[in-house]
Amino acid sequence: MNWRLLLSLSIFGPVIGALTVLGVFPRGVDRIVWFVVVAACAFMVAKKEPQRALKHGAVIGFINGAVSTLIQALWVESLAANNPWMVEAMADQPAGFDFEFFVFMLVPFIGVAGGAMTGLLAMLIARALAGRRGAQPQ
């Protein structure tokens, strides 16, 4: 495992999580930011670890997704105050719906989804780069 690569690319999750809590991103912009982060991380993994791109990408994506969501869950009051559109989107939920519990519940799911997307994209990029060089990664 390339720990230097893992640690350097896993910083995006906490940063995006904190920026989301602070309300920096307008509605929908966080998706674009995540797309860029996943693509950049997958590309860096494919370049630095082409033989283990899936493994490294999955770990980095899991950490980024889970930590970002965990930060949002830990500061859910600030998240709701700074992102009124999130509260508005949850307004139609049944009585007793707990927004804080919902965000905590999302942590493992967002982590797994982020890991799957980053890992698979890293593997595909590694294969494409290897094809351009004339050799397939193992």
Cβ neighbours of residue 99 under 8 Å, at least 6 residues apart?
A: 76, 80, 87, 90
Q: Are 68 and 17 in contact (CB under 8 A)?
A: yes
Residue 137: pLDDT over 80: no
Domain count within the chain: 1
The pLDDT of residue 138 is above 70? no
Query: Could you tell me the CA-to-CA distances from 122 to 9, 66, 114 in Å, in that order?
Result: 13, 19, 12
With a cut of 90, say whether residue 57 has pLDDT above it: yes
Query: Is residue 50 in some structural domain?
Result: yes
Examine residue 56 and state whether it is found in any structural domain, yes or no.
yes
* Segment 11-33, tens digit of pLDDT: 999 999 999 999 999 999 999 99
Write out the residue range of the structural domain in which residue 64 sits: 10-88+97-133
Distance separating alpha carbons of residues 60 and 82, to the nearest angstrom: 27
Q: pLDDT by residue (tens digit) across 88-124?
A: 888 888 888 898 999 999 999 999 999 999 999 999 9
Task: State the Cα–Cα distance between residues 14 and 21, nearest whole angstrom.
Answer: 10
Burial 24-52 (b: 16+ CB within 10 A, else e): ebeeeebeebbeebbeebbbbbbebbbeb
The three-point CA angle 97-65-4 to 5° equals: 155
Within-domain flag for 123: yes
pLDDT at 135 over 60: no
17 found inside a domain: yes
